[in-house]
Amino acid sequence: MLPTGRAGMSQANDKRIVVMTGATSGIGANAALRIAAQPNIRLIIGARGGHPGPQGAEVVPLDLASLASVRTFASEVKGSLGGAQIDMLVLNAGVQTTDAAKRTIDGFEVTFAVNHLAHYLLARLLVSSMSDGGRLIITTSDTHDPAIFSGAPKILDPEALAHPDRNKTGVRFSAYPASKLCDLLTARSFAALSEVQPPRITAIAYNPGLTLGTGLSRDAPRFLRVLMRGLIPLIGIFKPQFRSGSPERAGEALAQLTLGEVKLPAGRVYASLVRGNLTFPDPSPLAQSNDARDQLWRESAAMVGLA
Ligand SMILES: NC(=O)c1ccc[n+]([C@@H]2O[C@H](COP(=O)([O-])OP(=O)(O)OC[C@H]3O[C@@H](n4cnc5c(N)ncnc54)[C@H](OP(=O)(O)O)[C@@H]3O)[C@@H](O)[C@H]2O)c1
């Protein structure tokens, strides 16, 4: 149970409140360490298991593979605010499953459900509790872009992503980049749709770039993990998009965006870490499509039971 915040206090005199997923490992753990080390920060982490989080953080149970858990987490966080508001909402958790047959308790394909649907619901439930000038950061990936990764989606079909044909070849490699396209489109929705009052909140889709040494491919078969660790640095010699950055720098950039130490140019949503530097390129043409953005918003709302 979280302590209750002090109702009626001016947030300017109180702590800045950060709510974060994916803070227990890899890029997010590095970012959380930096965020927790700031003065006047209250860091609330949603996590599975008994992870203690960085010193000073409050850990609240959250399993993104369950929409009921997302709802319970959101209401516990809201209940603890006591009149204060969330300044930064960081949706960084992610999985890269290679088993297309795997389903969550709600019946959705796991990668789509954890990376996109759960975060979509969480953001919808918490956005009304965010402060003016707040920041919503969703971690995406440049693998959403066919110009970078040939397995990236060229069309958007949310229903097919939610319930893919278990026997269709290639699904296990396409689910991850498709989920990251959904993250990008969701960030664009929050930046643009009237129902979230766009001037109030800055929405950012953050691509940390290829980062070896995190837990992301932990579900992949051992031979594939060993192959990737050996092969990717070799490919990187010839293809720049396969050059890995470090979890420390990727976490630092996530913390910089969260804390507002790095700001996006006006009108931009996508921040991409390229060889250690934050850049602000256009995402893929499909990620820029307003039809795809609005379709995903509508169909995701129906899937999670929101109007
Ligand atoms: N590494 C890369 O090359 C790369 C490139 C582009 C984008 N990204 C993105 O960066 C983000 C962080 O990934 P990473 O590489 O740092 O991987 P990671 O080390 O595996 O971290 C993933 C985080 O997500 C959490 N998580 C996973 N499933 C969850 C669930 N069901 N409920 C709650 N939390 C869950 C994990 O919690 P546990 O500790 O409980 O497992 C962990 O904190 C992801 O969104 C990923 O897609 C990574």
Question: For ligand 1, is residue 27 a contact (CB within 6 Å)?
Answer: yes
Which of 177, 175, 47, 170 minimizes the C-alpha distance to 109?
A: 175
Quick check: 92 and 254 in contact, CB under 8 A?
yes
Question: For ligand 1, is residue 49 a contact (CB within 6 Å)?
Answer: yes
| 276 Cβ neighbours under 8 A, 6+ residues apart | 245, 249
Question: For ligand 1, is residue 210 a contact (CB within 6 Å)?
Answer: yes
Per the DSSP assignment, residues forming a β-bridge with 211 are 245
Question: For ligand 1, is residue 82 a contact (CB within 6 Å)?
Answer: no
- Closest-CA residue, ligand 1 atom 45, reads 94
Question: For ligand 1, is residue 110 a contact (CB within 6 Å)?
Answer: no
Calpha distance 32→295 (Å, rounded): 33
Testing ligand 1's pocket by substitution, the residue of 120, 214, 274 carrying the most ligand atoms inside 8 A of its CB is 214
Question: For ligand 1, is residue 216 a contact (CB within 6 Å)?
Answer: yes
- Residue-by-residue pLDDT tens, the chain, 307 positions: 555 543 333 354 589 999 999 999 999 999 999 999 999 999 999 999 877 788 889 999 999 999 999 999 999 999 999 989 999 999 999 999 878 788 999 999 999 999 999 999 999 999 999 998 899 999 999 999 999 998 999 999 999 999 998 777 667 789 999 999 999 999 999 998 665 555 589 999 999 999 998 988 887 777 777 777 778 778 878 887 778 899 999 999 999 999 999 999 998 999 999 999 999 999 999 999 999 999 999 999 999 999 7
Question: For ligand 1, is residue 211 a contact (CB within 6 Å)?
Answer: yes
Question: For ligand 1, is residue 111 a contact (CB within 6 Å)?
Answer: no
- Closest-CA residue, ligand 1 atom 43, reads 22
Q: What length is written for the chain?
A: 307
Question: For ligand 1, is residue 232 a contact (CB within 6 Å)?
Answer: no
Task: Read off the DSSP letter of residue 117.
Answer: I
Calpha distance 88→298 (Å, rounded): 25
Calpha distance 294→115 (Å, rounded): 18
Report the C-alpha dihedral over residues 300, 177, 97, 239, rounded to 10 degrees: -170
Testing ligand 1's pocket by substitution, the residue of 92, 120, 183, 274 carrying the most ligand atoms inside 8 A of its CB is 92
Read off φ and ψ for residue 59, nearest 5 degrees: -105, 125
For residue 4, what are its two tokens?
């209750």
Can you tell me which atom of ligand 1 is nearest the CA of 139?
45
DSSP for 215-268 reads: STTTTS-HHHHHHHHHHHHHHHHH-GGG--B-HHHHHHHHHHHHHTSS-PPTT-
